[in-house]
A and B are shown apart, each in its own frame.
Chain A
Amino acid sequence: MSDTLGTGSGPDGKAKATVAPGQGECRPSIEAERQPGWAVSRHLRQTGLPLLSVAVILAFWEGAAQLGLFDASTIPPPSRVLSTVWELQTLGFPRGSSLLTHMGSTLGRVAAGYALAAVLGIPLGMLIGRSLRASRMVLPIVTFARSVATLSLLPLAVLWFGVGEESKVFLITYGCFWVLLTNVIDGAKNVDPALIRAALMLDTSPRAMFYRVILPSALPYIFSGLRLALGLGFMVIVGVELIGTSIGLGALISQARTFYRMDLVFAGMVAIALFGLLIALGLSWLERLLLPWARESK
């Protein structure tokens, strides 16, 4: 069986010898999958090795810090970061603002800006995408608006909305909006014409055409837009919070730096990473729940 897929020149043994002369483990994965017996150890390696590599890195990091190989105040060891996370939650960093306060504030800003972008972007994108002319006309504007770095708008946003929450929400909305709009337009554009013709033949009303044909077929695009936008919104908020606020995860690490508290910077980054991971997982779970038919095309 492996012969039909193999090099075609000889039995398995020969193929192995030519592929890995003295390279030991270094065999292309495609080659590896073909060998019986490899599958079990492969499975073990796929779960074991990643755990092992993280454990080794953490152990070295901790050990080196304990031995004083590098300055523990500029690269705090994992144990220190953990205890700082606890300290942050119980005592708070700018006095009284615990980790959860920072997280809640960041989450609130992202949620507001993201929701606003979705409310504006999805209907507008569906409208533009259904007209060939309109989508051509807005294409250069959308492309340009997307490549404007969102944070470069910060001075303007402050001028328009002041230093409060509005300017932060505006920037997140701006960043999310264009990414989302591009994907929604694509989705509305790429409806299979055969589906539309079939629906027309069945005398479908325009309303039913939109809700039962166009929208469902655009939904996978909309979702991938929503996922991209959320990642971007998250990046924007951290950047915005680095400048001129006191509450929020970005503000936390920025202020920790001015006090040279590297352990706090790391603790904040751990929180940010966890946050990002949770959001990404939640969104892909939601996508599977709402779009069971799109699983293949992803």
Chain B
Amino acid sequence: MNRRLASLDSWLGVTIFLAVWQALSALGLLDPRIIPSPIAVVAGTASHLTLAQFLGDVEASLFRVMAGFLIASVLGVVLGVASGWYPLVGDLLRAPIDLLRPIPPLAWIPAALIWFGLGEPSKVFVISLGAFFPAFTNTLAGMRKIDRDILNAARMMGLSGWRLLYRVAVPAIEPDILTGLRIAWSLSFGVLVAAELIASQSGLGNLIVRARELGQIDLVVFGILAIGITTLLTDFIIAQFFFRFRLRWYVKATTAGLAGTRER
């Protein structure tokens, strides 16, 4: 009941927003050469862009993000777990990672272009740099606040070493890993767009560049919205996947109020 009301309000909000935008354009208060109306965006996009072209751009962008994200999340999670589990690894990795972290991923773009050229590797490199830090930091934070009672209980039952890590510790921090991966994913898109604006022949960022060069402002707006929607949709899929297959215990525990101590 309450949830239904909430989603009704959400739709109402979006509808009002679009209606006001459209109305302001129709009344001539918004210059169509600067901000096209929602209807003009849809109509203009339909005439300027074919579906095949659009899907090609989505595919190119998704490939880059996925490649960078996969490299970064594997590295980030593995190193994060290792740093939390083995004090030696943690102490050795902490300083180099803390020194590199304050450099925004976009600042690596010029260096990446020199090292890897204009092709795909430079984009994948920069994206994976951006995605690495959130994946690593959140995994490590999860390892640090692991409930010691769980570990001790598992030890009492005879688990130790690798098996304790793999069967108990890693599953226990999966909610934190998920948080890290989701932050990493949306950051990847931000980095991707910058990389595509600077140097690329395809992708959603390049779609915006092409549209601007041709003066098709409606298509520019469409490209911006398309990037936002792609980010949201893929993030939703990742979260759903985790909640369905990996985190059922966590969802149950949170709704039952059992995992309250893990919140923040």
A residues apposed to B, CB below 8 Å: 5-9, 15, 18-21, 23, 25-30, 32, 42, 45-46, 49-54, 57, 74, 133, 136-141, 143-145, 147-156, 159-160, 234-235, 238-239, 242-243, 249-250, 253-254, 256-257, 260, 262, 265-266, 268-269, 272-277, 280, 297
CA distance A42 to B108 in the complex (A): 35
CB-contact partner of B198 in A52, A242, A273, under 8 A: A242
- Are B91 and A18 in contact, CB atoms less than 8 angstroms apart? no
B residues apposed to A, CB below 8 Å: 6, 9-14, 16-17, 34, 84-88, 90-96, 98-100, 102-111, 113-115, 146, 148, 151-152, 155-156, 160-161, 164-165, 186, 189-190, 192-194, 197-198, 204-205, 208-209, 211-212, 217, 220-221, 223-225, 227-229, 231-232, 235, 264
CA distance A154 to B190 in the complex (A): 12
Question: Contacts of B103 on A, CB cut-off 8 Å?
Answer: 269, 272-273, 276
- Are A136 and B13 in contact, CB atoms less than 8 angstroms apart? yes
- Are A151 and B114 in contact, CB atoms less than 8 angstroms apart? no
Task: From B108, B161, B209, name the one whose CB has the most chain A CB atoms within 10 angstroms.
Answer: B161
CB-contact partner of B107 in A19, A26, A45, A272, under 8 A: A272
Report B237 CB to chain A, min CB distance, Å.
14
- Are A53 and B99 in contact, CB atoms less than 8 angstroms apart? no
- Are A273 and B111 in contact, CB atoms less than 8 angstroms apart? no
B106 and chain A: residue at smallest CB distance: A239
- Are A139 and B10 in contact, CB atoms less than 8 angstroms apart? yes
CB-contact partner of A45 in B10, B87, B186, B227, under 8 A: B87
Task: From B106, B193, B209, B235, name the one whose CB has the most chain A CB atoms within 10 angstroms.
Answer: B106
Between A and B, 8 residue pairs with Cβ closer than 8 Å are: A23-B161, A28-B85, A29-B90, A30-B151, A49-B88, A53-B92, A133-B9, A159-B217
CA distance A51 to B95 in the complex (A): 7
CB-contact partner of A242 in B152, B190, B194, B221, under 8 A: B194
Task: From A21, A28, A238, name the one whose CB has the most chain B CB atoms within 10 angstroms.
Answer: A28
B102 and chain A: residue at smallest CB distance: A276
CA distance A51 to B96 in the complex (A): 9
- Are B88 and A25 in contact, CB atoms less than 8 angstroms apart? yes
CB-contact partner of B161 in A7, A21, A260, A297, under 8 A: A21
- Are B111 and A266 in contact, CB atoms less than 8 angstroms apart? yes
CB-contact partner of A137 in B9, B92, B100, under 8 A: B9
A32 and chain B: residue at smallest CB distance: B87
Report B116 CB to chain A, min CB distance, Å.
11
Task: From B194, B208, B209, B217, name the one whose CB has the most chain A CB atoms within 10 angstroms.
Answer: B194
Question: Contacts of B107 on A, CB cut-off 8 Å?
Answer: 238, 249-250, 253, 268-269, 272
Report B242 CB to chain A, min CB distance, Å.
18
CB-contact partner of A155 in B12, B92, B156, B212, under 8 A: B212
CA distance A249 to B100 in the complex (A): 17
CA distance A28 to B150 in the complex (A): 14
A258 and chain B: residue at smallest CB distance: B110
Report B98 CB to chain A, min CB distance, Å.
8
- Are B160 and A19 in contact, CB atoms less than 8 angstroms apart? yes
Question: Contacts of B198 on A, CB cut-off 8 Å?
Answer: 242-243
Report B141 CB to chain A, min CB distance, Å.
12
Question: Contacts of A26 on B, CB cut-off 8 Å?
Answer: 85-86, 88
- Are A74 and B217 in contact, CB atoms less than 8 angstroms apart? no
CA distance A260 to B160 in the complex (A): 53
**Given known contacts A139-B10, A154-B197, A262-B111, A250 and B152 CB-to-CB distance under 8 angstroms:** no
CA distance A42 to B91 in the complex (A): 10
B169 and chain A: residue at smallest CB distance: A28
Question: Contacts of A32 on B, CB cut-off 8 Å?
Answer: 87
**Given known contacts A28-B151, A138-B13, A242-B109, A45 and B194 CB-to-CB distance under 8 angstroms:** no
**Given known contacts A155-B209, A160-B34, A265 and B111 CB-to-CB distance under 8 angstroms:** yes
Task: From A23, A156, A239, A277, name the one whose CB has the most chain B CB atoms within 10 angstroms.
Answer: A239
A139 and chain B: residue at smallest CB distance: B10
CA distance A53 to B94 in the complex (A): 9
- Are A242 and B92 in contact, CB atoms less than 8 angstroms apart? no
Question: Contacts of B114 on A, CB cut-off 8 Å?
Answer: 74, 257, 260, 262, 265
**Given known contacts A46-B91, A50-B92, A151-B194, A269 and B224 CB-to-CB distance under 8 angstroms:** no
CA distance A120 to B189 in the complex (A): 26
CA distance A26 to B89 in the complex (A): 9
Report B6 CB to chain A, min CB distance, Å.
5
Q: What 10 pairs between A and B have smallest CB-CB spacing?
A: A137-B13, A50-B95, A276-B102, A257-B110, A49-B91, A136-B9, A148-B228, A235-B104, A149-B193, A155-B212
**Given known contacts A51-B95, A269-B103, A140 and B148 CB-to-CB distance under 8 angstroms:** no
- Are A280 and B208 in contact, CB atoms less than 8 angstroms apart? no
CA distance A257 to B118 in the complex (A): 12
Question: Contacts of B109 on A, CB cut-off 8 Å?
Answer: 242, 254
**Given known contacts A156-B221, A238-B106, A54 and B96 CB-to-CB distance under 8 angstroms:** yes
CA distance A153 to B190 in the complex (A): 11
**Given known contacts A7-B152, A136-B13, A141-B13, A239 and B194 CB-to-CB distance under 8 angstroms:** yes
